[in-house]
Amino acid sequence: MSNKPANEKSMIISYLTLRKAIGVMGLALPIVLYFGAKIIFHDGLQPSLSSYYHTGMGDVLVGILVVIGFFLFSYRGYERSDDIAGDLACLFAIGTAIFPTAPENANPCAPVISEYVHWIFAALFFITLIYFCLFLFTKTYPDRDMSPEKIKRNRVYRVCGYVMSLCIILIAVHGFFMSETFIQTFRPVFWLESITVWSFGFAWITKGEAILRDEE
């Protein structure tokens, strides 16, 4: 008797678990960095998530980004475009991790090449995640009708993608026009990046069908 159905079910469970794991790490990243730095190392709120590289939580930041990257490399979707997006997201996540941003008190007249490379990788990483939400997660098999749960999940993906897009735009506006104003005292980039990462995490948890799961 063939065990193919059991193997297929095991593979489906594995992919759902992988997606949920990616989502959980995305949701946890800002929380772990903030409370770890505050409780263990007595560091205050940093200007951005990337700035935690220069705190005692630097290794944790790099480690989580690398793990997320390799999980994305393992991701497989409906089409080749899904695989390519996962591979690129892996590259951008690892690039973001290994090229740190400059510390907060760095001399602004002495730009750090690593910081420019970091922000390029980070921007490409977030853009790829937005692409996942708006264009890949919303796909379905061409020979199947979308279930009510799938329709609801697609709404979640789009909302997450739009929220991430808005946050990226606001981060760019802040960087060009408001980085030297009093607004910086509220750490807007940290909060905008956190909302972006939380949206990413929530989308992946939804993709893993932790919520809005199809009936068997």
In tens, the pLDDT along 110-168 reads 457 888 899 999 999 999 999 999 999 998 877 778 889 999 999 999 999 999 999 99
pLDDT higher for 177 or 126? 126
* pTM for the whole structure: 0.89
Query: What integer best gives the mean pLDDT of the chain?
Result: 88
Name the band, by pLDDT with cuts 50, 70 and 90, for residue 215.
confident
Task: Give the span between the Cα atoms of 148 and 12, in whole angstroms.
Answer: 20
Domain layout of the chain by residue ranges: 14-207
Task: Give the span between the Cα atoms of 43 and 61, in whole angstroms.
Answer: 15
Residue 178, CA distances (Å) to 148, 167, 173, 191, 206 in order: 44, 15, 7, 15, 35
Q: For 68-96, what is each residue's pLDDT tens digit?
A: 999 999 887 778 888 999 999 999 999 99
